[in-house]
Structure formats: structure tokens, C-alpha cells
Copies of this chain bind each other. A is one copy, B any other.
Amino acid sequence: MHCPSCFAINFTLDVVAYTMAKSNLELVDECDKFPYYEDNPAFYAAHLKKHHAFRVNGCDAVLGYILNSAVAKFHWPAEYWTVDSTNQTVTLNTAPDATPEQRSKVMDETLRAEAKRGNFEVLKGWRNEMYAVYAPGGKFLLEMERCATPLFGVVSYGVHATCYVEDEHGLQFWVPKRAKTKQTYPGMLDNSVAGGMSTNERPFECLVREAEEEASLPEDVTRAAAKSVGCVSYFYVRDSRAGGEVDLLQPEVDDGEVEEFKLYTVEETKKALANGEFKPNCAVVFIDFFIRHGILTPENEPDYFQILTRMHRRFEFPTASHFAH
């Protein structure tokens, strides 16, 4: 029994945490930033006007959007590129029946020359890692250096794995913290394993490789434990946390190297999400996990429908088919 005279409750109002807490929809907003036509056709049209459409000769599709300021600053060798200021297009003018190798070669030469010029911060992060660009029907069109994809606003693909245990304490997630020295999103929380998919790499094989590299998970463990559960998609617009130029477009993104791993309960994860501690796209992966596992429901999440549709955005660009023939 407590003696009333020596019993006290010390409490402090945690006002900052509450007023600043991010809702799950706000977390999705941070990832899926490009406007929607149906919300405001005039605003959408005005926003599109700030970009040129990236096209490839012989392919009847817009493959990405390039900021007008980037189009102006970039050097487009006239033998391979056509910049049409009226229609606001930048077209790679290889032959209509060129091979992916031929298109990729021109792209590579153009990008290397531009990187040498040193006018673009993002090109200083050259990684010698190739990302694929697809034509309608998921057909491989060309590949290009990963760090240049946000300049062209093309769709990129990554895998994200949530490693978790479930015991009498409920679900617990393995959550890594990104090194403070990282160029992109330093010190932020991440998914257990996450990485970008290179040309010719399929999702499951990409996961096996990244799990070994990033989380030292042996190949057989990953193969036995991992299950494919879906795909989130969003139209990201880079801010200062991503490093390099801002406002570049990135329909999906990813990165590596971990400082430490810690086990987070559901409540700890929710708190870290609301505090904005997670890298934006990793937050979205957790929200998807919570929805699939009945932790977020229409009854406890006011923005349930909005969140589900926003994190499965349909792009105006063609997307990959990773079908293994």
C-alpha cells in the first residue's frame, strides 16, 4: 500500500511528440508526391509543364519526366538526342529497331560525358550499377547507370524484406539503422533488407543477394524463410535527404549499408514511424505489412482506403515484367 504523503506522480506533457506526430497517410504522402490528374487537372497540367517527357525512338510511350531545368543544363549530343521544346520531349534517336545494347551504349556515353562535366550532383554518385528501362508489355528497352535514373524520372525497382519473429511478446521486427556517414538518408531507420534491382536481376534473386550483403543472411536461410507478399508503388520526388539535386523524380528507389540492427515491437515501430525516423519508402513497406497482418484496419486507421490506393500507384509509364520464361 502506498503512503499518500510519499506517493507522487510526476508527469510531463509530451506535446511536441503529439503535435509533430506523422499520420500514416502523411508518411505515404512523403513517398507518393507527384500530383494526380483527377485531383486537379489544371494543377496536374501545370506541374507536367515543368518537365520534358523522356522518349526513345521506336517506342510509343513516355518513359519518364525530366525537369526542364535539368534538360537545359544537360548536354544532349545532337547525333543521338532530339530536344523538342514545343512538345517538351527529349528523345533518344537511335534507330527504331535498335537493340537494347545499342541504346544502352549511347545512353552510357552521354551520361559519362555529362558526369565528367560535373554539373549534376546526382551524377557524382556514380555506382557502376545498371538499372533497366522497360517498354510497354514489360519488354527490356535499355539499361542506364543507377545514379542517373532520377534525372530521367524513369521507374526503378527494389526489393524490401521485413524480417520478424513472433513469440509470446507478439511480433518483433529486425530494424537496421543506416550509417550516419551515408550519402542518402543518413541515420534513418530502414527495412531489414532492401536493395535496388539491377538489369537482368529478378526480385527473389535480388533479395537473396542483398540479404547476404546487408544482413549476412546465408542464402539457404533466405530461400527457406522468404515469401513474396506484394508490391508497393509510389511516385517519389527527391528532397534534400536523398542527396543531390532536389525535385528529381523517382518512381521507387533504394540503398544499403547498416550501422546496427535492433528488435522493434509493433508499438516501437509505430512510434518510430510517427516520429519520422524511417526512410520514407521503408515506412510505406511497414504500413503495408501492418495492413496485411490486421494491425492497421479500416476501424483504427482513418485514412485506410486512401493509404491502400496511394501505395499501389499506377504509373503513366510502362513497367517491368520479371516473369521467368
Contact = CB atoms under 8 A, between A and B. Distances in A.
Interface of A: 36-38, 138, 202-204, 227-231, 233, 291-294, 297-306, 308-316, 319-324
A211 B325 CA distance: 41
B314 A299 contact: no
Nearest to A323: B302
A321 B309 contact: no
Contact of A302 (B202, B298, B306, B321): B321
A301 B299 CA distance: 32
Given A309-B313, A309-B315, 5 more contacts: A37-B37, A228-B298, A229-B291, A229-B293, A302-B323
Nearest to A299: B324
18 contacts: A37-B38, A38-B315, A138-B302, A202-B299, A203-B298, A203-B299, A228-B294, A228-B297, A228-B299, A230-B291, A230-B292, A231-B304, A231-B308, A233-B305, A292-B292, A308-B312, A312-B312, A313-B314
Copies in the complex: 2
B229 A294 contact: yes
Given A203-B298, A297-B203, A314 B309 contact: yes
Nearest to A297: B228
A164 to B, nearest CB: 15
A88 to B, nearest CB: 15
Contacts of A303: 321
A302 B313 CA distance: 18
A312 B67 CA distance: 29
A138 to B, nearest CB: 7
Contacts of A36: 314
B298 A231 contact: yes
